């Protein structure tokens, strides 16, 4: 059974750092490109970052470029999102998603909530 479980969210002050994790099971993680997508309270989905199956290429939304780093450890079947210099506007539910079908996101986790507030 395909499964993604995010962790690492919580309440954090502006300017601080946080690392999210996404543990994968039930599929060949090392064959999937992986995404982070976020959703601010009451708002729509916002694509955040993409990493290819082997970690060779990474892409970011303009809103997070320079502050956020996506990475993966295929030996641990885990995806990461390192978030630095957090802002109030980074408050959101963060989902990890996998691309079993090319150019789409067909496997989703349940999300982890990040709240940036002083």
Partner 1 sequence: QSALTQPASVSGSPGQSITISCTGTSSDVGDYNYVSWYQQHPGKAPKLMIYEVSNRPSGVSNRFSGSKSGNTASLTISGLQAEDEADYYCSSYTSGSTRYVFGTGTKVTVL
Closest separation in Å from C-beta 118 to partner 1: 27
Question: Does residue number 42 form part of the binding site for partner 1 (CB under 8 A)?
Answer: no
- Tokens standing for 75? 């030996």
Comparing CB distances to partner 1, the nearer of 23 and 61 is: 61
CB 72 within 8 A of CB 57: no
Phi and psi (nearest 5°) for 18? -155, 145
Distance CA 115, CA 59 (A): 24
Closest separation in Å from C-beta 95 to partner 1: 6
Q: What share of the chain is helix, strand, coil (3-state, %, to 5)?
A: 5, 50, 45
CB 107 within 8 A of CB 100: yes
Stretch that binds partner 1, among 14-22, 38-46, 71-79, 80-88 (CB under 8 A): 38-46
Residues 44-103 that bind partner 1 (CB under 8 A): 44-47, 50, 59-62, 95, 97, 101-103
Looking only at the bridges linking them, the beta strands covering 112-116 and 58-60 are unpaired
Stretch that binds partner 1, among 15-23, 67-75, 79-87, 105-113 (CB under 8 A): 105-113
Question: Does residue number 105 form part of the binding site for partner 1 (CB under 8 A)?
Answer: yes
Residues making contact with partner 1 (CB under 8 A): 35, 37, 44-47, 50, 59-62, 95, 97, 101-106, 108-111
């Amino acid at each position: 059974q395909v499964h993604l479980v995010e962790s690492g969210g919580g309440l954090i002050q502006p300017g601080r750092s946080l690392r999210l994790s996404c543990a994968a099971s039930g599929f060949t993680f090392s064959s999937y490109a992986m995404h982070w997508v976020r959703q601010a309270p009451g708002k729509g989905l916002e694509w955040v970052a993409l990493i290819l199956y082997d970690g060779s290429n990474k892409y970011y939304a303009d809103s997070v470029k320079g502050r956020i780093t996506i990475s993966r450890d295929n030996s641990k079947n885990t995806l990461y999102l390192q978030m630095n210099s957090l802002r109030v506007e980074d408050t959101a539910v963060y989902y990890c998603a996998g691309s079993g079908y090319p150019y789409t996101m067909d496997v989703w986790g349940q999300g982890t909530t990040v709240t940036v507030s002083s």
